[in-house]
Amino acid sequence: MRAFDLDTELTAERHHLTESRAALARMRGRAEALFSTGDRVAGDAYTAEQLGRHMARRVKELADDPTTPLFFGRLDIEEAAYHVGRRHVTDDAGEPMVLDWRAPLSRSFYRASVRDPQGVSTRRRFGFVRGELTSFEDEHLDRGEELGTSSRILTAEIERPRVGPMRDIVATIQPEQDELVRADFGDSICVQGAPGTGKTAVGLHRAAYLLYLHRERLRRSGVLIVGPNTAFLSYISAVLPALGEVEVQQATVDELAGRVPVRATDTPDAALVKHDVRMAEVLRKALWRKLTKPTEPIMVSDGSYRWRIDAEPLRRIVDEARREGLPYAVGRERVRARVVGLLQRQSEYRTGNSPSEPWLRKMSKVAPVTEFLDAAWPAVTPESLVAEVLTDPPEGVLSDDERSAIRWAKPPRTVKAAKFSAADLLLIDEAAGLLERAASFGHVVIDEAQDLSPMQARAIARRSEHGSITVLGDLAQGTAPWAAAQWRDTLGHLGKPEAAVVPLTIGFRVPASVLTLANRLLPALGVDVPEAVSLRRDGELAVVPVAEPSDLDAATLAEVTAALAHEGSVALIAADEAVKRLRGHLDAAGIENATPDDVESEARVTVVPATVVKGLEYDHVVVHEPADIVAAEAKGLNRLYVVLTRAVSRLSVVHAKPLPGPLG
Ligand SMILES: Nc1ncnc2c1ncn2[C@@H]1O[C@H](COP(=O)(O)OP(=O)(O)OP(=O)(O)O)[C@@H](O)[C@H]1O
């Protein structure tokens, strides 16, 4: 009898899904019709373009992804049932068929509990396979039933094989995650979470949530996601579009600051100095020291009359503009405008008439005015300021050794010919920020933030000055030479020193056995962070010692081949210098393989250099010679911690050398 009831229920739910899909198709049809007639109804070209863009976006937002169901849950509140899904769907009369997961009512889907039922009598979660409903699971909160993390549907979602890019987690956001996702727009937050606790997922869902709640405001100012490298950004790039959000920008910090191409490489010592926050001070001083006190009057003739401004009022103008704290280039123009203002007043006094616009324009460009400006408040470009500092690093802030580390061995003949490094681009960006204010995004999500250098953090701060930020990271995974040991410093450089630091500790990726191995490294990493507790009991861990170093590659190949017998993605992670050789072995063995940058590839095996694996995950991970990964860089143990925490189901560690540090 009960089975029959369940069947009937499931049939009814499937029917509701079919109806909802049909309603969504009609919504899209209406949007498409408006899109094609938009330019005819709009009054002018500008309105037509605006409307066209709006409608094109709307059509995209209403796309139906047949591989995911339109709803994944249901709330019974009083007599009504509300289906919760990826976006609002309404019937032809405008009645809701599916509620957007971000709507206020949907919040109870994630947060209601027996202790605080929020009016919910039953919460239903749906199981699905490729967009079709296959099962459901009820929690009768009013009868004291609550599944929490023992939900079968949650477990199945966490344990599913990972294929392709990252997916959204709307169906199974956990209460501690939901609290972060729905934090107020104005709140900047920093999430410290062990590997696989869902930091990236939380950041992306928070972006989607804020866009839903503050759509107009954020459409104007924009939302930006900052990630560590392009492989990572392509891995996460499908999540927001799947949630209907198609207008979010993604960039690495290098891309943000990429005003000129990178054409030089720094020594490690030079890079260290250039990423140091004191470089901001060096640049600021080098810039403002260019101002000089006017000592000569300005004498201008406009053909009919001669005008004169004495040194004293000129000094006052420069001092005043300096005190106003404007960006340098804005200050220079302010001084010019005030000088022209004085000329204008003299002209009015003498002729009794207001001078014409062309006269004012001419006066602002005449040689005596420009010469005065070039002496008192010289024109500077970001590139010229940085070139100057690198040609002859000023004394006062840096030590002599540091100054020599960054000094150009052979200064270029012109600024145009200068070859700048990636770190120089940050200096140029800093200089640009001193000259002019950067436009600010409404919200910026920063992933893997533990690796930001102070100068990188400042580049982001300039772009989020008037907005809020979500900072995601794990101090234990810091591998950059300047990686933070505590969050306060980074948050200060990001311009949000007051942001709350919130921990996430439930691990959704890494199986308990694998996590136990990785956690052995934690005490050696020099940071104070809580360990993750894995929700997953199912994984496998194999440590494979190889007696003869010459057999190491063959043993690694055997592990990769064994992993291919299982469902899901396979990654071979190795020290960067071994990647090419290992790919050669795979090719020779006829095993199709790709690099993580190649998102289009169908190959099941990805060969990943240890330095780009941060943020990524694979079902089966084969790690090649951990000792070499550790030896390759100063923070090698932190790198190994990252490498060991990429596996969703199985981890094999193949080694001929002794296992490093606390693992040995
Ligand atoms: N509530 C959840 N339900 C289902 N899956 C989840 C949930 N939270 C996280 N996951 C999954 O766990 C995995 C790890 O999440 P994510 O990459 O966001 O973690 P992270 O904290 O950023 O990890 P890392 O620090 O290693 O980069 C992803 O596959 C994600 O989809």
In this prediction, residue 160 carries a pLDDT of 76
Q: Residue 238's pLDDT is what?
A: 84
CB 594 within 8 A of CB 587: no
User: To test the ligand 1 pocket, which listed residue (149, 152, 199) has its Cβ within 8 A of the most ligand atoms?
Assistant: 199
Cα–Cα distance, 218 to 283 (Å, whole number): 32
Count the neighbouring beta carbons within 10 Å of the beta carbon of residue 293.
11
Instruction: State which ligand 1 atom lies nearest to the alpha carbon of 472.
Output: 22
The rounded Å distance from CA 78 to ligand 1 centre is 34
Q: How confident is the prediction for the chain on average, in pLDDT? A: 92
Binding-site residue ranges for ATP: 193-200
Please report the pLDDT score of residue 351 as a whole number: 86
> Where residue 535 falls among pLDDT bands split at 50, 70, 90?
confident
Q: What is the pLDDT of residue 39?
A: 57
Question: Are the CB atoms for 174 and 151 separated by under 8 Å?
Answer: no
Residue 180 in tokens:
């972060």
For residues 79 and 325, what is the distance between their CA atoms, to the nearest angstrom? 61
pLDDT exceeds cutoff 80 at 3: no
Q: Cα of 79 to ligand 1 centre, how many Å? A: 35
Query: Of residues 33 and 326, which shows the higher confidence score?
Result: 326
Cα–Cα dist 511/530, whole Å: 17
Note the pLDDT of residue 38.
57
Using CA atoms in the order 192, 194, 195, 197, what is the torsion angle rounded to 10 degrees? -80
Distance, CA of 294 to chain centre: 47
Say what the pLDDT of residue 42 is. 60
Nearest C-alpha neighbor of 196 from the set 661, 663, 653, 641: 641
Look-up of token digits 């089966």 = 620
Q: Ligand 1 centre from 169 Cα, in Å? A: 8
91/98 Cα distance (integer angstroms): 9
530 secondary structure, DSSP code: P
Residue bearing the CA closest to ligand 1, atom 30: 198
What is the average pLDDT across 11-38? 87
Residue nearest to atom 11 of ligand 1 (CA): 508
Residue 559 reports pLDDT greater than 60:
yes
Does the structure show a pLDDT above 80 at 164?
A: no
Can you give the pLDDT at residue 269? 96
| pTM for this model (two decimals) | 0.90
* pLDDT of 2 higher than 60: no
CA of 102 to the centre of ligand 1 (A): 19
- Binned at pLDDT 50, 70 and 90, residue 37 comes out as low
Q: Match 């410093």 to its residue by tokens.
A: 489
Mutational pocket test of ligand 1: of 172, 191, 197, 619, the residue with most ligand atoms within 8 Å of the beta carbon: 197
8 A C-beta contact, residue 390 and residue 274: no
Residue 4: pLDDT band with limits 50, 70, 90: low
Please tell me the least confidently modeled range out of 92-101, 269-278, 573-582.
Answer: 92-101
d(CA 129, CA 368): 77
Q: What is the distance in A from the centroid of ligand 1 to the CA of 616?
A: 10
pLDDT per position as a tens digit, 406-465: 999 999 999 999 999 999 999 999 999 999 998 999 999 999 999 999 999 999 999 999
Residue 80 is which amino acid? Answer: A
Q: Is 73 helix (H, G, I), strand (E, B) or coil?
A: strand
Instruction: Please name the residue whose Cα sits nearest to atom 8 of ligand 1.
Output: 198
Q: How many beta carbons lie within 10 A of that of residue 67, not counting itself?
A: 12
Distance 216 CA to ligand 1 centre (A): 29
Write the CB contacts of 645 (distance below 8 Å, at least 6 apart in sequence).
194, 195, 196, 509, 510, 514, 515, 518
Residue nearest atom 5 of ligand 1, based on CA coordinates: 158
Determine the residue of 109, 147, 158 to mutate for testing ligand 1's pocket, defined as the one with the most ligand atoms within 8 A of the Cβ atom.
158
pLDDT at site 1: 39
**Average pLDDT of the residues in 108-127:** 94
CA of 16 to the centre of ligand 1 (A): 30
296-315 average pLDDT score: 91
Copy the structure tokens of residue 459: 């580049």
Top pLDDT among 562 and 215 is at: 562
The letter for the amino acid at 296 is E
Protein residue whose Cα sits closest to atom 18 of ligand 1: 198
Q: Exposed, middle or buried: residue 447 (CB in 10 Å: 0-12, 13-18, 19+)?
A: buried
In the three-class reduction of DSSP (H, G, I as helix; E, B as strand; rest coil), residue 353 is classed as coil
Nearest atom within ligand 1 for CA of residue 477: 25
**Tens of pLDDT, residues 187-209:** 999 999 999 999 999 999 999 99
Q: Which of 526, 431, 427, 530 is nearest to 483 (CA)?
A: 526
Beta strands in 212-328 (DSSP E): 223-226, 249-251, 298-301, 306-309
Residue with CA nearest ligand 1 atom 9: 198
Q: What is the pLDDT of residue 353?
A: 86
For residue 147, what pLDDT is reported?
87
Least confident among 239-253, 422-436, 516-530: 239-253
User: pLDDT per residue over 277-298, tens digit each?
Assistant: 999 999 999 999 999 999 999 9
Please give the average per-residue pLDDT across 617-638, as a whole number. Answer: 96
How far apart are alpha carbons 564 and 560 in whole angstroms? Answer: 6
Please report the pLDDT score of residue 354 as a whole number: 87
Q: pLDDT at position 68, please?
A: 80
CA 510 – ligand 1 centroid, Å: 9
pLDDT tens profile 388-413? 999 999 999 999 999 999 999 999 99
Q: Residues lining ligand 1, CB < 6 A?
A: 157-158, 169, 172-174, 177, 193, 195-201, 474, 477, 508-509, 615, 617, 645
| 408: nearest Cα among 398, 417, 419 | 419
Phi, psi of 370 (to 5 degrees): -65, -40
Q: What tens digit of pLDDT does each residue of 231-243 get?
A: 888 888 888 888 8
Distance CA 248, CA 61 (A): 13
Q: What is the mean pLDDT of residues 165-184?
A: 91
Of 370 and 163, the structure prediction assigns the larger pLDDT to 370
Cα first-last separation, the chain = 59
- How large a percentage of the chain has pLDDT more than 90? 75
Ligand 1: which of 225, 445, 508 to mutate, most ligand atoms within 8 Å of CB? 508
